[in-house]
Amino acid sequence: MAAGTLYFIPVPLSEDTTPQQVLPPEVVQRMRSLRHFIVENEKTARQFLSASGHPGPIRELTLAVLTKDTPPKDLPRLLQVVQQGTDVGLMSEAGCPGIADPGATLAAVAHQKGIRVAPLIGPSSLLLALMASGLNGQRFTFLGYLPSDKAERIKTIKGIEFDSRKQQATQLFIETPYRNQHVLEDLVANLQAQTRLCVACNVTAKDELIVTKTVADWKKSPLPDLHKKPTVFLLLA
């Protein structure tokens, strides 16, 4: 029996956007055809499936949970139904699965088992932020999360700036939303004046903010309120 396909299904980045606003019709149609899903959170996944017009019944769909705390030994179990010939959809909590997301580990196991991994088109806050930033889109690095300790964070920020200048590459990173304001303050306080810094907050939402300025210019006006708002930071030295 041929194995099924593991579809990576993007979901909206913001609660005030519908699936139909940010996903191509072909992606929504594919998602509606599936009855088995691997998700980070069952409640929000069922809400997304309902909003997408899945024929359901939603409560009868099979949802398995994959989080950053899922033990590696449990990953093959999540793929058993795919190996048996059933197509399965993997969904992140927001945006594209597999990027800064536990789906990457599942994709690795799927490749080891010869299972086809099919990425579907949808919003990625990282790429959308890079597109709009005006920074170098030909050479860039995504660095994930910064250290939570302030001293370590400042040291890391200076290292990121050094690497950006040396490589002439845009550096992208994110932070837990409740620490975003502290990160922005540390960036403005510790980067060189002519380094360009982009703040991309609530991408695709009604209150979306994507602004690029030199650090010198960021210091001339009040900083935006980023507290508890999903944000991507980008810099180019």
Please state the domain count of the chain: 2
Q: Which amino acid is at 173?
A: F
Say yes or no: 130 and 144 in one domain. Answer: yes
Q: Cα(28)–Cα(221) distance, rounded to whole angstroms?
A: 42
Digit-coded pLDDT (tens) for 33-48:
999 999 999 999 999 9
DSSP letter at 49? H
CATH number at residue 48: 3.40.1010.10
Say yes or no: 72 and 94 in one domain. Answer: yes
Digit-coded pLDDT (tens) for 44-67:
999 999 999 999 899 999 999 999
Digit-coded pLDDT (tens) for 82-109:
999 999 999 988 889 998 889 999 999 9
Say yes or no: 231 and 132 in one domain. Answer: yes
Whole-number Cα distances in Å, 77 to 59, 81, 170:
22, 8, 39
DSSP letter at 178? G
Q: Is 208 helix (H, G, I), strand (E, B) or coil?
A: coil
Cis status of the peptide bond prior to 57, with omega within 30 of 0:
yes
Q: Cα(75)–Cα(165) distance, rounded to whole angstroms?
A: 40
Domain boundary (99, 119, 139) is at 119
Q: Which amino acid is at 7?
A: Y
Domain boundary (119, 136, 162) is at 119
Range of 110's domain?
Answer: 5-119
